[in-house]
Chain A
Amino acid sequence: MPDKPLDTATLDDGFLIVDKAPRALEKTRQKRWKAPDFMVRLLSPLALLLIWELASQSGLLPSRVIAAPSQIGGTLWAMIESGELATHLWVSLQRALLGLSIGVAIGVVAALITGLSKKGEVILDSPMQMLRTIPSLALVPLFILWFGIGEFTKIALIVTGTTFPVYLNLYSGIRNIDPKLIEAANTLGLNRRQLIWHVILPGSLPSFFVGLRYSLGISWLALVFVEQINTTAGIGYLASDARDFMRTDVIVICLLIYSILGLVIDALIRTLERYALAWRPTFARS
């Protein structure tokens, strides 16, 4: 209990008494200007940047450790202007999307087979569970021996990384549909095809999106690795090339791009979910 008595509430002989003045009287106090929320949020990162810049300028932070923000900005602008960044980004995007779409497609098909049929589960689930525990990056040496160091290996690695999150989540989504809904569908006379289309697939869609998010993250992660194997283009190549020339500014730019892409993809999936899962309580009520 505070030592000072409260403004509006007093404790008196076992009662809590609240006595508040009406809001209107406080108007003059509320009119004071307040900085918008986003400006306040920006304050600390900006301060950090400023300290970083000052440390670099004064020589406290040598550029072989990390480049100054101003230098990074300059390099970024030059790379955008020359189109160099766009070229590398486009190559990386193509790899990621190709690998991702193949991986997701395999994951979805496998999850449908194991999720919808008992026989499919018996045949396919245990090999999938065994394969998923192998870290896909541990396959790099084997894939290089099998497929060489060309584009195929790179895509194949992204595929192996992105298949399993979608598979696992969609499979469990299908299996965890409320049995009461299945029962209701049966009393309504739905046949198997209608049951899958109207009940099982929409019901497992939220789980699919969880898997898709994981897969997207993994596709970028895999990209960093595969683009260091015999490449001449791509964000990963840009970073490893920059390492050889000790260009810390370019490395930071690559990191920046990864994080921005992460944000963009997350926003994309959110939009997709908002449309596809409009029925969910969080969306439906708003």
Chain B
Amino acid sequence: MAAVDLLHTTHQSKHQAELPPVQLRNVVRQFGQQKVIDELNLDIAPGEFVALLGASGSGKTTLLRALAGLDSIDSGQLRVPLARAAVFQEPRLMPWKNAWKNVVLGLDIQNPHARALEALTEVGLAHRVNAFPATLSGGEAQRVALARGLVREPKLLLLDEPFAALDALTRIRMHQLIIELWRKHTPAVLLVTHDVDEAILLADRVIVLEQGKIADEVPIDLPRQRSTGQHGFQGIRARLLGLLGVESAGQAGVDKPLVQENLRRFANVR
């Protein structure tokens, strides 16, 4: 795979900056006869937070990998900014480099330590600059990965189930952090997730993918600081779960807590 020079691509002309950073037209990716992504059209506006939901095998990850430049497409047009960063489910830090060196890895800049410190301060890890990844907790490592992505000032931030491996409390804190950082840096964000609640809490728009096609798009117009108890939240949740093939509690007419427990389990399935 050709390594793309991300460093010298941040200065884009004004004309380019006004176009949507992500534009996909009739994109097809197939493995053998099976089309994993099938004639997909997608636009993401500058600074927009989009969540991508879908069952396993719906093509979510393939789409994200194509956008990250880790996979090619077979036909169609794909336009993504070269200034992009990805955070995966595992932090993927280099174990032999301490936190700050991981953050600025591959960057050719003046005073990398100061830049790294700045980025780590943003994610609340100023006290861990010199720590090796092996000594970081799961949440800390994921925050370093986030700092590593954001220090590159991406126009597009790709998040591939970045909170799936974290415990529930850490996940809540990470949700707050990601919103904070998104507001500050204003990249367009594409979040791939299995967690319906997470998608509704974070995104401006939720896209449901099914067999490589967009099954539906749901704009989330709930005011922010969102919470699951918010008015309208459960309605959107039921609609999304319906799109994902799960009957919601109201329709099924079974004991509510039990069904919700099952739905939650489904939503958290990896």
Q: Please report which residues of chain B, range 35-79, place their CB below 8 angstroms from some CB of chain A when the two chains form the complex.
A: 68-70
A189: interface (CB < 8 Å):
yes
Q: Please measure, in the bound complex, the distance between the C-alpha atom of A87 and the C-alpha atom of B1, giving whole angstroms.
A: 57
Q: What is the interface size of chain B, counting residues whose CB is below 8 A from a CB of the partner?
A: 29
Is B4's CB within 8 Å of the partner chain A? yes
Q: Is the CB of B97 within 8 A of A180?
A: no
Checking A185, A190, A278 against B132 with a beta-carbon cut-off of 8 angstroms, the contacting residue is: A278
Q: How large is the interface on A (under 10, 10 to 19, 20 to 34, 35 or more residues)?
A: 20 to 34
Q: Kindly state whether residue A195 has any CB partner on chain B within 8 Å.
A: yes
Given the interface pairs A184-B88, A189-B4, the reply to whether A198 lies near B106 with Cβ below 8 Å is yes
Asked if A59 is at the interface (CB within 8 A of a chain B CB), the reply is no
Does A270 sit at the interface, judged by CB under 8 A? no
Q: Which residues of A contact B6 (CB under 8 A)?
A: 188-189
Separation of A185 and B84 alpha carbons in the complex (Å): 13
Q: What distance in Å separates the Cβ of A110 from its nearest Cβ neighbour in chain B?
A: 23
A181 at the interface (CB under 8 A from B): yes
Majority-rule SS of B interface residues: loop
A181 neighbours in B (Cβ, 8 Å): 92, 94
A180 touches B92 (CB 8 A): yes
| A65 to B93 alpha-carbon distance, docked (Å) | 60
B105 touching A188 by the CB < 8 A rule?
yes
* Cβ contact of B3, chosen from A180, A190, A198, cutoff 8 A: A190
Please give the distance in Å from B158's CB to the nearest CB on chain A: 8
Q: How far is the CB of A284 from chain B (nearest CB, A)?
A: 4
Task: Among B84, B134, B148, find the residue whose CB has the most chain A CB atoms closer than 10 A.
Answer: B134
The yes or no answer to B7 lying at the interface (CB within 8 A) is: yes
CA distance A285 to B3 in the complex (A): 34
Residues from chain A with a CB closer than 8 A to the CB of B5 are: 189, 191
Report whether B88 and A279 are in contact in the complex, using a CB–CB cutoff of 8 Å.
no
Which residues from A are CB-within-8-Å of B86?
A: 184, 187
Most-contacted residue by chain A among B93, B97, B132 (CB, 10 A): B132
Interface flags, A227-254, vs B, CB<8A=1, else 0: 0000000000000000000000000000
Contact across chains for A187 and B70 when beta carbons are under 8 A apart: yes
**B68/A187 in contact, CB under 8 A:** yes
- Given A180-B90, A279-B132, A284-B135: A190 and B105 interface contact (C-beta under 8 Å): yes
Q: Is B85 an interface residue (CB 8 A)?
A: yes
Inside 8 A of A185's CB, which chain B residues have their CB? 94, 105-106
Minimum C-beta distance from A178 to chain B (A): 8
A198–B135 touching, CB < 8 Å? no
Does B96 lie at the interface of the complex (its beta carbon under 8 Å from any beta carbon of A)?
Answer: yes
Chain B residue, CB-CB nearest to A194: B106
- With A and B bound together, what is the CA distance between A58 and B119 in angstroms? 78
The reply to whether A284 and B134 form a contact with Cβ atoms under 8 Å apart is: yes
- Asked whether, in the complex, the Cβ of B97 is within 8 Å of the Cβ of A198, the reply is yes
Q: Find out whether the CB atom of A186 lies under 8 angstroms from the CB atom of B135.
A: no
Tell me the bound Cα distance from A280 to B4 in angstroms: 30
B95 within 8 A of A: yes
The docked-state distance in angstroms from the alpha carbon of A137 to that of B85 is 54
Name the one of A184, A191, A205 contacting B92, with C-beta atoms under 8 angstroms.
A184
Give me the interface of A with B, judged by CB distance under 8 Å. Answer: 180-181, 183-192, 194-195, 198-199, 202-203, 205, 277-281, 284-285
- Interface set of B (CB-CB < 8 Å, partner A): 1, 3-7, 68-70, 84-86, 88, 90, 92-98, 105-106, 132-135, 148, 152
18 CB < 8 A contacts A-B: A183-B92, A185-B94, A186-B69, A187-B68, A187-B69, A187-B85, A189-B4, A189-B6, A191-B3, A191-B5, A192-B3, A195-B3, A198-B94, A203-B96, A278-B132, A280-B95, A281-B134, A284-B134
